[in-house]
Amino acid sequence: MLPSPLTGELQDLALELTDQAARLAGTLHTDVARAVGNLVRSMNCYYSNLIEGHDTHPRDIDRALKEDYSTEPRKRDLQLEARAHIRLQQLIDSSGTEENIVSAPYILWLHKEFHEHLPDDLLWVENPDTGEKVNVTPGKFRDRDVIVGRLIPIETTLIGRFLQRFEDAYRIDRLGRMERLIGAAASHHRLLWIHPFLDGNGRVTRLLSHAYLKQIGLGSSLWSVARGLARNVEAYKSALSAADSPRQGDLDGRGNLSERGLTNFCLFFLRTCIDQVNYMESLIRPAELLNRMEVYIQEEINAKRLPQGAFPLLREAVLAGSFERGKAKELTGYKDRQARIVLKTLLDKELLTSTTERGRVSIGFPQPIVDRLFPGLYPT
């Protein structure tokens, strides 16, 4: 269930991830981090579903969050799927650290909360050999044996026993600090290997990994391992497949599966996490984010789509987190009426946001400008 002994390379990567994640967490004001978190949830949803072959354009995800659905049935179904994924990650992000997230009830809850909000057309799986279609029940373990590529998962009668072993091995409050870090990676493969559901195993596992990393203090709403896994999907699937392999001789661990394969998967997973933390840290450094924002705003002013005085308000929102509406006059140097026009324009375009009509305003990252402010977040 864990590589034993933990290699020096695994420990080095785990410590590097700890340091990098801590640095990322302190980069932004909490209000700005919240806005970035909303953006990253959509990104996480996009990439996690992309691994499953469901390519939902980021604009369509944004529309789904505003309940603006396509009239095309397939596109609408994928929008509802994206909305369900983001909703569930919000629940994970807002939860405490007391929950036993590696227990069978929690894993069932993840599956139920995701699948209960899917359209009926996405709750069916087809047997590739017989063409038989089987309904997927939210929050229910599979009741039939399956074959997944070259993997033949455990029999249905053994799922409960294997998940109990899964909990015993990865329960966070029973692991040492270094074991927790490696457990975040190892548990990702082992749950996929158990394959407890007829469908949704990949999404549930990636959401569980998000919850696991968050609970051990490494994960946050500011970065997503799913982006790295999707952008290296062949390497991801290859590493999973290698860890599925049976033990290769007496020097390859003591269990039925290859310890070498598990170790290599853990190395791949931790490197992917580090890569994604570093990528997001490079994007959200306040000085560089403001530079990109200033260039974009000036282009919009030149095109007469934004008024002069817009950038000082956005800069204040990034550096201070939020500000009172009355401060717009001071920041722009304009009289009351013109300052209110600038503020209203930015609110209308969702570059600034507020929870109430008169409340403080914070930064917003609307979908149309994501590529400009966060280059490379999505595929070109």
What are the boundaries of each domain within the chain?
8-284, 286-373
In this prediction, residue 188 carries a pLDDT of 98
**Residues 89, 97: Cα–Cα separation, whole Å:** 15
Angle between the 159-170 and 104-115 helix axes, to the nearest 10 degrees?
110
What does 303-355 look like in DSSP terms, one character per residue? TTSS-TTHHHHHHHHHHHSEE-GGGHHHHH---HHHHHHHHHHHHHTTSEE-S
In this prediction, residue 150 carries a pLDDT of 82
pLDDT of 338 > 80? The answer is yes
The H-or-E segment that residue 1 falls in is none
Beta bridge partners of 126: 133
Q: What is the pTM of this model?
A: 0.94
How is domain 8-284 classified at the CATH fold level?
Fic-like fold (1.10.3290)
- Residue 106 burial (10 A CB sphere; 0-12, 13-18, 19+): middle
Which tens digits make up the pLDDT trace of 253-307?
778 899 999 999 999 999 999 999 999 999 999 999 999 999 999 999 999 999 9
pLDDT of 123 > 80? The answer is yes
Of the candidates 204, 23, 109, 334, which has an alpha carbon nearest to the alpha carbon of residue 345? Answer: 334
In this prediction, residue 301 carries a pLDDT of 97
What confidence tier does 354 reach under pLDDT thresholds 50, 70, 90? Answer: very high
In this prediction, residue 99 carries a pLDDT of 87
pLDDT of 252 > 90? The answer is no
DSSP reduced 3-state for 361:
strand
In this prediction, residue 81 carries a pLDDT of 97
- Sheet containing strand 361-363, edge to edge, reads 322-323, 361-363, 352-353
Percent of the chain topping pLDDT 90: 87
In this prediction, residue 253 carries a pLDDT of 75
CATH number of 286-373: 1.10.10
**Residues 194, 108: Cα–Cα separation, whole Å:** 14
Percent of the chain topping pLDDT 70: 100
